[in-house]
Amino acid sequence: MFELNSKMNDERIEEIGENHVATSAENPIRPDAFDISDEEKIVKIEKSVKDILHTLGMDLTDDSIQGTPKRVAKAFINEMFMGLNPKNKPKASTFDNNYNYGEMLVEKNIVLYSTCEHHLLPIIGRAHVAYISDGKVIGLSKMNRIVEYFSKRPQVQERLTMQIVQAMQEALGTEDVACVIDAKHLCVNSRGIKDIESSTVTSEFGGKFKEKETKKEFLQYLQMDTPF
């Protein structure tokens, strides 16, 4: 049965090929994903990276590379994929909108580093997030941290854009949230078609941002230059 399922999976992977496929608005995480500690995961990943490098023919006794398996394992758990673990989710503290600011607030050019879940290669870009207060406001740095948290996973850009909006909507108690992401995917830029100029733009508009004029205003703000 395992051999049959493996063959079916191989055929499905071959059918998908280089296509950009997202299966869900949620990351595909197993229910037992956090049954073992981060320290135990680092040990397991270190061994796996050693096996990969050994298979590639690398000499793991060389001073330059002998520490690489542990460095990669620690980077996976503590940095690159830390957003998989709910314990790292930022506390999105909100405050009453006591100054009654009723226009949109836009946080532009949030630097974004993520990892494509298809080839485990970097996604590098910028996120632009906006909301209109319905009685609550959120600290500016918290918007950056929300982007960072959902970015630090094996990701698909469409899903990432939706997750940022949904997290902001939950924190603020309003549907009036929008996000645009413009990013380069190294799985496109450095391999495959090797198109170094192309970037991918995704957007998610909620509530009032679905209205033509509000959406237009938001997108116009993104065109503004911010020299320092």
Q: Which tokens sit at 228?
A: 């320092």
Return the number of other C-beta atoms located less than 10 Å from residue 185's C-beta.
24
Q: How many CB atoms lie within 10 A of CB 136?
A: 14
Q: Is 103 a catalytic residue?
A: no
Given the residues 148, 163, 185, 204, select the one marked as catalytic: 185
Which residue in 118, 166, 175, 217 is the catalytic one?
Answer: 118
Among candidate residues 117, 128, 163, 179, the one labeled active-site is 117
Q: What is the token pair recorded at 14? A: 């071959």
Q: How far is CA 171 from the centre of its chain?
A: 18
Query: Of 107, 148, 155, 157, which residue is the catalytic one?
Result: 157
Catalytic-residue membership of 117? yes
**What separation, in Å, do the N-terminal and C-terminal C-alpha atoms of the chain show?**
63
Instruction: Please identify which residue in the block is written with the tokens 């909620």.
Output: 206
Question: Active site includes 20?
Answer: no
Note if 179 is an active site residue.
no
Please compute Rg for the chain using Cα positions: 21
**Catalytic site residue from 20, 119, 166, 175:** 119
Among 46, 148, 155, 187, the active-site one is 187
Q: Which of 107, 116, 148, 163 is catalytic?
A: 116
Is residue 185 annotated as part of the catalytic site, yes or no?
yes
The catalytic site residues sit at: 116-119, 157, 185, 187
